[in-house]
Amino acid sequence: MKVDILAFGIHPDDIELSCSGTLLQHISMGYSVGLCDLTQGELGTRGNAELRFKEAENAKAKMGAKFRYNLKMPDGFTVWNKENIIKIARIIRLHRPGIVLANAISDRHPDHGRGAKLVADACFYSGLSKIEIKNKKGELLPKWRPQAVYHYVQDRNIPHNFLVDISTFFEKKIELILTFESQFYREGGDQGPETPISGKYFLDFMRAKNKSYGRDIGVDYAEAFTVNRDIGVNNLFHLL
């Protein structure tokens, strides 16, 4: 199954927190989207791997994504090595996305930057014909390199290169985030241990963050992205 956009997150809920508005926007325009989590988030203070997997599947269904993988790399200790590069490149070759979205290149959580590099490098190596990768049937997968890799901005407000208007889908984004019930505040529920994202006012922070980005481009809400290459256009009005 070929998809137009393939979004990666090193933890379940990274995608929902940081780029789900953008994905919803593009699904509404007819583009197909796939998702892939690198780890099960098993080191997270709240919840566990099994629960977070169920939450991730529920979020996928609510979003309307075509599929969601979990590569089960070790949370907190995912390393750059051939094995992990091949795991990611296999998903890329199987689904041949035009665009890949990945974790922030630098962030408060050290896993995010490592995930960003793993995915970006895997996109490059996936395009090398001499690297042989097989599917489950043992058949060689043809090389594939996405046209672009964009990194979503996460916790820290690092300098960004472009913003995507998500105004129409911001409330749906909040709904997707709250699908991860184990991670976020629930009125009247068992709150569990406190974490940087579990507080009662965390979603107020998310709203303010996306509203601040939106203000920069004259819309209600936006999400921010970085890119490690020049962006080319053939129509200046596409930059509005």
* pTM: predicted TM-score of the whole model, two decimal places: 0.95
pLDDT tens, per residue, the chain with 240 residues: 899 999 999 999 999 999 999 999 999 999 999 999 999 999 988 889 999 999 999 999 999 999 999 999 999 999 999 999 999 999 999 999 999 999 999 999 999 999 999 999 999 999 999 999 999 999 999 999 999 999 999 999 999 999 999 999 999 999 999 999 888 877 766 667 888 888 888 999 999 999 999 999 999 999 999 999 998 989 988 887
Handedness of CA 153, 157, 161, 166 (dihedral sign): positive
- pLDDT for the residue numbered 139: 95
Distant-in-sequence, close-in-space partners of 8: CB < 8 Å, separation ≥ 6: 15, 35, 36, 37, 38, 88, 100, 101, 102, 103, 115, 119
- pLDDT for the residue numbered 190: 63
Domains of the chain: 5-227 (3.40.50.10320)
- pLDDT for the residue numbered 2: 97
3-class SS of residue 32: coil
Q: Which residues pair with 34 in a beta bridge?
A: 6
- pLDDT for the residue numbered 110: 95
Closest by CA to 126, choosing from 92, 98, 79, 102, is: 92
